[in-house]
Amino acid sequence: MDDRNLTIGDIADALGVSKTTVSRAISGKGRIGEATKQRVLEYINEHNYRPNMMAKGLAQSKTFNIALALPGDYNLEDMSFFQKCLMGISEIANSFAYDVMVAVIPPNDTSQLERMVTNRKIDGVILMRTVFQDHTAAYLKDTDLPFVAIGSSDDRKIIQVDNDHRAACRELTSILLMRGIRRMALIGGSQSHVVTQTRLNGYLDAHRELGIPVDDSMIYLDVESSVLADKIVEELLAKKCECIIGMDDSVCNYVLNKLKKEKVKVPQDIKVASFYNSSMLENNVPSITSLEFDVLELGMMTCRTLLDLIDGKAVRERTLLGYEVSLKESTKEIL
């Protein structure tokens, strides 16, 4: 018989055992002698047997699909993060014979995801971003479907996997403050994103722990265009700002482009740092002081957590991954 068409019944007949015994050996569940189990597994490996995933799914009430809930309001700058994260998710999903489906979620519109859930097309969901007043998370909480969020949330009913942004931003800000920088500015994106508040809290933590007052007039949020960033940089140059921190790579890139237009030298005239590094900043001259996060590992850990949740295993309510502070030329002391 062609090995590609091998069935559990064929294996049972060849080994003189029942189909139930073969199923137990494959799944690792149920009572079966170790010697018999090894006979079945060796036969399977020898003949390159692969279970029919549709039949396996029906037997286990699984589809072997997971959904990736991608925010519909993402921009081009977000794609590098999402792409790396998806690579990590796909690597783990593939190793467990799962496929990944993408649901693009416009603001306040979960209809595509609802169809997937209603039609029982998926076993679980990964939320690619956490936001305040999260309608997607609220919808999923009303279903029995397992889901995991990439990012942090105050809602402890949501399983979360994130990088420790608060500790990372606190550490980088502290380093800059301890170098004597006082006229420091922070420019960030949308306040509806939880990560924006988390990074702001890290920045404030550093000032509080070192007993250094925060100048609220030097903190700018909801900066999501180069036009607005240009105006802010002009204001900061007029205020004799010593250092500008971008909360993410896109904001930092806006700042760098404006400084180049104005022929302002980094770090000679002003220092620049970013709370997030990406390929967007890697080739900048001078090199940019930034925070490094392993996005591939973030995706892998999130997928592992979701698959454990689907299998009914206990998982941590919140998992925080590490970071690295990368000090480079853009904040270098000029003697």
In this predicted model, what pLDDT tens digit does every residue of 222-277 receive, in sequence order? 999 999 999 999 999 999 999 999 999 999 999 999 999 999 999 999 999 999 99
Angle, helix 226-238 to helix 249-261, in steps of 10 degrees: 60
Give pLDDT, residue 46: 84
Indicate the burial class of 229 (C-beta count within 10 angstroms; 0-12, 13-18, 19 or more): buried
- In degrees, rounded to 5, the angle at the alpha carbon of residue 199 between the alpha carbons of residues 285 and 205 is 110
The encoded tokens of residue 132 equal 């305040």
The encoded tokens of residue 306 equal 């979701």
Kindly report, residue by residue over 118-174, the tens digit of the pLDDT. Answer: 888 999 999 998 988 888 999 999 888 999 999 999 888 899 999 999 999 999 999
Q: Could you please state the CATH topology (level 3) that the domain comprising 165-292+325-331 is classified under.
A: Rossmann fold (3.40.50)
Identify the residue with better confidence: 17 or 273.
Answer: 273
Range list for CATH 1.10.260.40 in the chain: 3-51
| pLDDT (average), residues 192-208 | 96
Residue 16 phi/psi, 5° resolution? 70, 35
Phi-psi region of 28 (alpha: psi -120 to 50; beta: other; left: phi over 0): left
Contact present, 278 and 249 (Cβ < 8 Å): yes
Q: Could you please state the CATH topology (level 3) that the domain comprising 65-163+295-324 is classified under.
A: Rossmann fold (3.40.50)
**267: Cβ–Cβ under 8 A, 6 or more apart, which residues?**
286, 329, 330, 331, 332, 334
Kindly report, residue by residue over 298-327, the tens digit of the pLDDT. Answer: 999 999 999 999 999 999 999 999 999 999
Give pLDDT, residue 3: 55
The CATH number assigned to the domain with range 3-51 reads: 1.10.260.40
Range list for CATH 3.40.50.2300 in the chain: 65-163+295-324, 165-292+325-331
Kindly report, residue by residue over 61-95, the tens digit of the pLDDT. Answer: 688 999 999 987 766 666 788 899 999 999 999 99
Q: What is the mean pLDDT of the chain?
A: 90
CA atoms within 13 A on the CB side of 90: 9
Give pLDDT, residue 210: 98
DSSP one-letter string for 294-313:
-HHHHHHHHHHHHHHHHTT-
Q: What is the pTM of this model?
A: 0.79
